[in-house]
Structure 1
Amino acid sequence: MSSISRGRGLAATMAGTAALAAVLAACTPPPSEGGGGEGGGGGEVAEGCEDYAPFIEMGDLQDTEVSVYTTITGDEATAQEASYEEYERCTGTDIVYEANDEFEAQIAVRIQSGSAPDIAYIPQPGLLQRLVKDFPDAILPASEEVAANVDEFFTEEWREYGTVDGTLYGSPLGANAKSFVWYSPSMFAEAGYEIPTTWDELIALSDRIVAEHPDTKPWCVGIASGDATGWPATDWLEDVVLRTAGPDVYDQWYTHEIPFDDPQVVEALDTAGEILRNPDYVNGGLGDVSSIATTAWDAGGFPILDGSCWMHRAANFYGVNWQQAQEGVEIAEDGDVFAFYLPGATADEKPMLGGGEFVVSFEERPEVQAFHAFLASDVWANDKAEVSNAGWVSANSGLDVELLQSPIDRLASEILASDEYTFRFDASDLMPGPVGAGSFWTGMTNWLSDPSTSSEQVLSDIEGSWPAS
């Protein structure tokens, strides 16, 4: 199940996107003569289309069509389509957008039946790996133009997630940064609290809140998400594995080079439990520890607004949820809510957990390869930022972060594009489906619902569910 389809990605962007897209459509002039050029080598670049010249030069794009298949629906789909409008005007290519909540199952069916789209947005590196291996001749290796853009605008970690057996197939598209802690800047200021820069400082801050504010709790958490209940708890464990065991062990864990219940993972879950299973720490404004499992993930941070909770660990995309709790909530360093980086073991260790989508192509036609190169470029990233509301970021280093609509998105984008932070993709999205979107979710839910369940037992049960091949 994809990040977006289970609410982990760009969850429910604000309705203003649709209005903005309509304004852009009304203001967009018709294609200029020769905008897509003539002949196999592209043609004349129309006035105002200079940014799109590299793509126009890739072939005769005028009056062509490219089909796109994705999981991205709703208001975010409106923003996606709006981000292609200038490209369509300048190249003469019509982008036909199709989104499906059943993408993960249907993309394989479409490939197998010979009806694959021209372009697909793959929501998980694990799914990309499986598709390339199951259908070795279907997904094309990235073109020289796409590879050049990936090398220029993305870190090596992001390139690797789009690579299968040494060959680059997928270029990064959107992204999210999960290693954040939401808080109330005014509450912190009034109490004299500073942002922690290490894990030990985070625990010390939690203890100080317990001692100084006995009518509140340091943390509020919710992991209920319908059939996907438990996924926010998997993010907690993934974040802590990165901080206690390190990125190399994290890689060995999700690839099953070490067992799911390796002692280092048990230690990480116990460390997460120092917060999540601590009745002194949770669940501010919501109940006791067991209430975590029944509190909706998108409402888990709301008690911060009434002062009954101080901190909520969630991704940058959580920002779109605050308006559900209270109209007019301001996200800013001096606003109603903001977020700080979930610290590592030391101030110098900076792992970042996140997710995103990857663009792959199934056709060699010039218009398909040109559009793929556009999506891997800084041109598209900036076009997309201009039509998106809070909750969308990219790891593209060419993105002008000032175009992003929310300060937390700007912070997330800077971190994702920075070599100072060590990025790792969400492990559950990289694991086999029966584990990453199955036993891992349910195991973490049981661990929080039943205090008698030990970390060793829950991880051992998940290990037992790992497919034999």
Structure 2
Amino acid sequence: MTRRRSTTVCATALTAALALGTTACGGGPVAPAGGDGKDKELAGQTLTVAGVWSGAEQKNFQKVLDAFSAKTGAQTRFVSTGDNVSTVVGSKIEGGNAPDVVMVPQVGVLQQFAAKKWLTPLSKDVEKSVDGNYAPVWKGYGSVDGTLYGVYFKASNKSTVWYSPDVLDQAGVKPPKTYDELLAAARAVADSGTAAFAVAGEDGWTLTDWFENVYLSQAGPEKYDKLAKHEIKWTDPSVVEALKTLSKLFADDKLLAGGRNGALATDFPGSVEKVFGPKPEAGMVYEGDFVAGIAKDEFGRKIGDDATFFPFPAVGRGKAPVVSGGDAAVVLKDGKNQKAAMALVEFLTTAEAASVWAAEGGFISPNKGVDLGAYGDTTLRSTAESLIKAGDSVRFDMSDQAPAAFGGTKGAGEWKILQDFLRDPSDPARTAAELEAAAAKAYRTANQG
């Protein structure tokens, strides 16, 4: 296993890089700096890396690229693709301007790239590092037909419920351990005069995350895997049962800030604001660990003090779920710098690389070699620790594994159908049938294409 250097050493290397060259946060290359001599054979090469990140995320990832430049002498240039990474990368390949490395945000997109023969299989050295530093489940999500194409560098723990301790204290409730306890706590919060949950129903992807956590806990990982691959239908009784469970929350207007109509008019940042903003309207908001970034950066909340979380609770007799998302580094065949690209991906498999961003916040790594002390606050350490401890029981976001027409399109497919369910959760069987019809069409089209 590759051992990480301390954050101080990484910071020193980064400082050297900045002293000897320009950063590429604005898109320009990073000049070579530092390194161990052996890797200087990459000096003079410029590596283009594409990904969805912008703003603070792009700046923090650039610090990782700077550390790579300091180590190897290779220059880097980051290109932000926006959310539609598949279309942007396809256009660049067609135009003869393919990036060398792409940070792919969805399993389904990685599989799509592989099917189109866009990807270079990762080297044996990269595979060895993945085997040593990651739980096998992550290698599986980065592989297609047994060939490793992607390394998951950044992950998220999407099984966290964020709350205001003051609101829960006022209601006299403690963080729940089961879904039934969650509902009871929600009713107590509502009875105390504050809505229990801010639900981001305007953003359909948040509703898929609600469903996935309930389904993984209640139906179990085997069923989850089958549904994710559409090996069982969405009309399966397990799906209907999960929708019934979710409806116990969604059907009770007094538990939701603004009721169901208010939830449908609330986007994700707005849902965080309703709990942690200047005029709180709710006590809790469900979403991944990235809630902390908004609560801290936008509303000045101190994470772990006046903004904290509890794990998404177990449903019925199931185990507490751990649903994750993440961004995988892949090497494009049409990139002009294959050797440097592979070297970067190998660097991204190390705890050293992950520790650079971990120190900045807004990031957790699936790399089990990362020292928890590298994370900037105790809350991030807790979310990272739960992700690592989950091991092979972690399941990747189901909608991100589906064809985009079903699991990743605004106003269509799963997003739209679950919004309709939030609007009227009275008939879970009908919703399951609608989900199956949309899924069948999307998978059929994907298989044909």
Q: TM-score, structure 2 length as denominator?
A: 0.84
Amino acid paired to 1:147 = E
Question: What is the CA distance between 1:462 and its match in structure 2?
Answer: 2.5
SS at 2:166 equivalent: helix
Percent identity over paired residues? 28
Q: Which amino acid aligns with 1:331?
A: I
User: Is it true that 1:79 corresponds to 2:74 in the alignment?
Assistant: no
Q: Which residue of 1 aligns with 2:416?
A: 442
Given the alignment of the two structures, is residue 360 of structure 1 paired with residue 341 of structure 2, yes or no?
A: no
Partner residue of 1:106? Answer: 88
Amino acid at match of 2:367: N
Query: Where do residues 316-331 of structure 1 align in structure 2 (5 Å cutoff)?
Result: 316-323=289-296, 326=299, 328-331=300-303
Where does residue 294 of structure 1 map in the other structure? 265
CA 1:243–1:397 in 2, change beyond 3 Å: closer, same or farther? Answer: same
Asked whether the 8 Å contact 1:350–1:422 carries over to 2, the reply is: no
State the match for 1:16 in structure 2. Answer: none
Count of residue pairs brought into register by the alignment: 411
Deviation at 1:421?
7.2
Residue 426 of structure 2 is aligned to residue 457 of structure 1:
no
Against the structure 1 CA distance between its residues 217 and 29, is the aligned structure 2 distance closer, same or farther, given a 3 Å change threshold?
Answer: closer
Alignment match of 1:184 (pick from 155, 164, 170): 164
Task: Give the 3 Å change call, closer, same or farther, for CA 446–325 of structure 1 in structure 2.
Answer: same
* Deviation of 1:420 (Å): 5.7
**Partner of 1:237 in structure 2?**
211
* Structure 2 contact 201–267 (Cα < 8 Å) conserved: yes
The residue type equivalent to 1:321 in the other structure is I
What are the residue-to-residue correspondences of 1:51-70 with 2, within 5 Å?
Answer: 57=38, 60-70=41-51
**Any idea what the Cα deviations from partners look like across 1:314-356, whole Å, max 9, x if unmatched?**
1110112225764x32111xx1110110111379823211211
2:312 — aligned with what? 342
What are the equivalent positions in structure 2 for 1:129-144 lying under 5 Å apart? 129-135=111-117, 138-144=118-124
CA 1:82–1:281 in 2, change beyond 3 Å: closer, same or farther? Answer: same
Alignment partner, residue 379 of structure 1: 352
Shift of 1:62: 2.2
Offset at 1:195?
2.0
Q: Displacement of 1:93 after TM fit?
A: 0.8
Q: CA deviation at 1:90?
A: 2.9
- 2:332 partner letter: F
CA distance in 2, matches of 1:418, 1:451: 35
Residue 300 (structure 1) shift: 1.3
Query: What do the CA deviations read for 1:60-117 (whole angstroms, capped 9, x no partner)?
Result: 2222222212111222111111222232123211012111114221222333555422
Q: Deviations over 1:117-144 (max 9, x none)?
A: 2111111111111111122xx3111111
Cα RMSD for the two superposed structures:
2.6
Q: Structure 2 matches for 1:256-271, cutoff 5 A?
A: 256-271=230-245
Counterparts of 1:162 and 1:325, CA distance in 2: 33
Per the alignment, do residues 382 and 293 of structure 1 end up closer, same or farther by CA in structure 2, a change over 3 Å counting? same
Question: Is the CA contact 1:351–1:421 (under 8 Å) kept in the aligned structure 2?
Answer: no
Counterpart amino acid of 1:256?
A: H
Structure 2 match to 1:6:
none
Contact 2:228 2:401 in 1 (8 A): yes
Distance in 1 (CA, whole Å) between partners of 2:247 and 2:141 is 30
Report if the CA contact (8 A) 2:218-2:316 is conserved.
no
Tell me how far apart the structure 1 counterparts of residues 17 and 113 of structure 2 sit (CA, whole Å).
40
- For the 8 Å contact 2:322–2:393, the answer to whether it is kept is yes
Aligned position for 2:154 = 174
Once the two structures are superposed, what CA deviation does each residue of 1:186-210 show, in whole Å capped at 9, x if it has no partner? 3334554222222232233234445
Distance 1:25 1:153 in 2: 27
Aligned residue in 2 for 1:5: none
SS of structure 2 residue aligned to 1:417: helix
Question: Aligned-pair distance for 1:264?
Answer: 0.9
- Aligned partner of residue 200 in structure 2, secondary structure: coil
How far off its partner does 1:252 sit? 1.0
Does the residue aligned with 2:222 lie in a helix, a strand or coil?
helix
Q: Give the distance between the partners of 2:320 and 2:136, measured in 1 at CA.
A: 16
Please say if 1:30 is aligned against 2:20.
yes
Deviations 1:360-382 (A, max 9, x none): 11357432221110011111101
Q: In structure 2, the residue corresponding to 1:350 is in which secondary structure?
A: coil
**Unmatched segments (≥5 aa) in structure 1:** 1-20, 32-45
Output the amino acid matched with 2:288: A
> Displacement, 1:267?
0.9
Of Structure 1 and Structure 2, which has the larger fraction of its residues in helix? 2
Against the structure 1 CA distance between its residues 59 and 259, is the aligned structure 2 distance closer, same or farther, given a 3 Å change threshold? farther
Deviations 1:152-196 (A, max 9, x none): 221111111101001111011111111111112233345542222
Give the drift of 1:307.
6.0
- SS of equivalent residue, structure 2 residue 41: coil
* Whole-Å separation in 2 of the counterparts to 1:265 and 1:411: 30
Cα 1:264–1:128, aligned 2, differ >3 Å: closer, same or farther? same
SS state at 1:117 partner: coil
Task: Find the aligned partners of 1:160 and 1:312 in 2 and give their Cα distance.
Answer: 31
Distance of aligned partners of 1:367 and 1:331 in 2 relative to their CA distance in 1, 3 Å threshold: same
Match of 2:106 among 117, 120, 124: 124
Name the counterpart of 1:430.
Answer: 401
Q: For the residues of structure 2 that align with 1:196 and 1:250, how far apart are their CA atoms?
A: 24
**Per the alignment, in what secondary structure is the counterpart of residue 110 of structure 2?**
helix
Equivalences for 1:300-315 in 2 at 5 Å?
Answer: 300-305=271-276, 308-315=281-288
Deviation at 1:58, TM superposition (A): 6.4
Q: Report what 2:222 is aligned to.
A: 248
Report the equivalent of 2:6.
none
| Paired letter, 1:144 | K
User: Alpha-carbon deviation of 1:459?
Assistant: 2.4
Structure 2 stretches lacking a partner, 5+ long: 1-10, 22-32
**Where does residue 35 of structure 1 map in the other structure?**
none
Say which is worse superposed, 233-242 or 391-400, in terms of deviation.
391-400
When structure 1 is superposed on structure 2, of 440-449 and 340-349 the one drifting more is 340-349
Q: Aligned to 1:84, what secondary structure does the other structure show?
A: helix
